Amino acid sequence: MILAHATIARAEDKQPEHELDPEQVVTGIEEPGRESGDAERDFGNVVLWVPRTLFDYIFRGATAAARYVADEQLVPRYREALGAPPDGDVFIFPTIFAETGETFNAGVRMLVDTPGVATFQRFGFGGLHDLVSESRIIVKGRGRLPYVISIESFFEEESTIEYYGLGIVPTNDARNHFQPGTDQEFGQYLERHTRALGSLGLRMAPELEFFLSMSLSRRRVQDTPDSEEQALSRVFDVSSLAGFGGEDAWLGYAEMAARFDSRPYRGRPAPGALAEAYTGGAQSTEGPPVSFMRVGWRAGGFIPIYRRTNILSPVLKFDRLVPLGGLPVPFNEIPRQPEFRGFDRRRDFVSIVASLDYSWQLVSFMGLRIFGDAATVAPSVAGLSFEQLKHLRWAAGLGFDLYSSRAQLGQLLFSGSPEGVRALFSLGEVERFGDRQHRE
């Protein structure tokens, strides 16, 4: 009762606002108090707004490109949202690629992404004789049978490709014909590669994908300008190298592949298993006769250690090229080992690469890995022997990965091997995931 009376009394004592002294009336907008350091933080936010916004834009653009373009073989899962805005989006973002012993390359990608169709343009420049241009149209379908159809054109000129010869120890392999008196370990050549490609990917089950691709391509090879004693024709007897100089062959190549992948994510570390097998055939349509087939497989496990984002992954990869009809195979079509993270310096008709990685997630978009690789090559399956273990190539190192849930977006990698230290940095140049059409 006393409380009620006091409340009423205070209400009665309150003067109307128009009767108050003007100096006692408080007007304006109420603001929170300022703390020490707020001005510096505001200044930092303004200064960092541009790089922060640019990084976010590049990340979103590279994510979209990886999801729909560079890895169009990753067919959308059943009823999986593609993640694009309803009315589509446009991305223009830079790409960077730098590797020990290779030409620095910077470029730009443009992606126009709509719910059903995406178009993609890429241009990279590393010098007068080092450039790449690529255009793609991707049609995406969802529903009970998700699919991806891709049509593309491609041109690349690369001037400092190294050729060491065939075999695990090229200098001791009788198939290599070095020029008399040369003391060079490898020769350099320039290659102009033109390709038209169409592909179809189908998701037959949540973890099972099927791919069919067909391409028509031509590779034109000559000595690297101004390479002097390092020129390919000064190191090797090029008359023994099919595909060097002379008339170029137009090659038609078709490939079928099936892939089982139970990982819920293809980019960041995730548990699961991978198995893939492929076969393809090439036939010349114009120029010197060429005929061969490719076969191969890869298998791997992704085992969680302590946490689901700490993954131990052993992977084994096997690739083989089989000449047909007794016809010579162009030397630059013979398999390399781009997935070996030491120096990719060996070619032969059979390639085996084994790797063991331990990776863990640092933040939602970046992870760290330590790894070890072992690799060998041979002229045939029968040519594989324990004797080759003496010359087994190995590399070990660590790397930082930048990724979305669906694909790798960038990488900083360091590896060491008996051949030296290799460093690699890439941004916007995404992983090919064993795609022979783009890799070879």
DSSP 189-207: EEEEEEEEEEEEEEEEETT
Query: In the chain, what is the straight-line distance between the N-terminal and C-terminal CA atoms, in Å?
Result: 92
pLDDT at 34: 53
Please give the average per-residue pLDDT across 199-217, as a whole number.
92
User: Which helix (H) or strand (E) segment is 5 a member of?
Assistant: helix 2-13
pLDDT tens digits, one per residue of 86-136? 556 777 777 888 888 788 888 888 888 777 888 888 899 988 889 999 999
Name the residue among 107, 103, 196, 106 with its Cα closest to residue 158. Answer: 103
Four-CA torsion 235, 161, 157, 152, nearest 10 degrees: 130
Per-residue confidence (pLDDT) for residue 104, from 0 to 100 = 85
> Would you state the pLDDT for residue 438?
75
Query: What b/e string do you get for 40-63 counting C-beta neighbours within 10 Å, with b at 16 or more?
Result: eeeeeeeeeeeeeeeeeebbebbb
The amino acid present at 342, given as its one-letter code, is G
| pLDDT at residue 2 in the model | 41
pLDDT at 44 over 90: no
Question: Which residues pair with residue 335 across a beta bridge?
Answer: none
pLDDT tens profile 122-176: 899 988 889 999 999 988 887 788 888 999 999 999 998 999 999 999 999 999 9
- If one counts every other C-beta atom within 10 angstroms of the C-beta of residue 357, the result is 19
* Domain ranges within the chain, ordered by starting residue: 42-439
CATH architecture under which domain 42-439 falls: Beta Barrel (2.40)
Q: Higher model confidence: residue 388 or residue 137?
A: 137
| pLDDT surpassing 80 at residue 19 | no
On the question of pLDDT at 40 being above 60, the answer is no
